[in-house]
Amino acid sequence: MKFFVDTGDVDEIRDLDATGLVDGVTTNPTLIAQTGRNFLEVVEEICSIVDGPVSAEVAATDLDGMLAEGRRLREIAGNVCIKVPLTWDGLKACKALSDEGTQVNVTLCFSAAQALLAAKAGATFISPFVGRLDDIGADGMELISDVVEIYSQYPAITTEVLVASVRSPNHVIDAARMGAHVATLPPKVLRQLALHPLTDKGLAAFVKDWASTGQKIV
C-alpha cells in the first residue's frame, strides 16, 4: 500500500518524507487555507519535496473553470495530480484532463456507483471518504471493500483506490487488508502507525539493561 500525506504543512511533509515512507501528498482548499500562504506557492514547494503525485484541487465547480484551473496547476510541476469533485462537470473534466495525459484524483466519493463512473472517466485515483461516512452512521470501510471488489472484476480499470478521510490506524490496516492501493493520512495518523506500548516498554528495558553494563559502542 502507498502512503500519501494529507496536509498543506510543508514542514510536516519535509519531515515525514525524510523517512522514505511518503509516496505522495494530497491537499485541498481547507488544508491550504490553514497555512495562510499562497496556494500556488505551497503546491510548488510540496512538489519540490516529494517525487510522487501531489494532488492539487481546483476551486471552480463548472467544467470550463475546472479545465482552466487544472491546466494551470499542472504547469507547476510534472508530479501535480489534478483533484476534481465527483460531479457531472467534474467527471467531464476528469475525462478531458486524463485524455491530455494529466493525472486526475476524483474526490468526494461516497458510493460505489460514483467510483465506477470515475473509473470510466479515466481517473488515476478515486478518493472515497471513509471517515465522513462513519460520521453519519454509515460504514466507510464497506465502501472501500465494494470499490476494490468492483474494480478487480475489470482488468481494463487502472484507477487506484485512494482511501481518504482516514481517522485512525485501524482505517489504514482495514483498507490494506481489502487491497486498497493508497491511503492518504494526516501526519498524526501516519505517526500513530509506528506506536505500540509494548515497543516502548521493551525499549525502556533494553536501555536500562544496557546502562547497567557501563559499556559504550562508540
Domains parsed from the chain with CATH numbers: 2-213 (3.20.20.70)
Answer whether residue 29 shows pLDDT above 90: no
Residue 188 DSSP SS3: helix
Which grid coordinates are listed for 131? 471517515
The rounded Cα 36 to chain-centroid distance in angstroms is: 21
Note the pLDDT of residue 11.
Answer: 96
User: The pTM is what?
Assistant: 0.94
For 49-58, what is the mean pLDDT?
97
Q: Is 83 a catalytic residue?
A: yes
pLDDT range class, residue 23, cuts 50, 70, 90: very high
- Helices of type H across 25-87: 29-35, 39-49, 63-73
Indicate which residue of 83, 95, 120, 201 is catalytic: 83
Residue 70 has what pLDDT? 98
Cell of 114: 460514483
Q: What is the pLDDT of residue 81?
A: 98
* pLDDT (tens digit per residue) in 149-160: 999 999 999 999
* pLDDT at 101 (0 to 100): 98
Tens of pLDDT, residues 109-155: 999 999 999 999 999 999 999 999 999 999 999 999 999 999 999 99
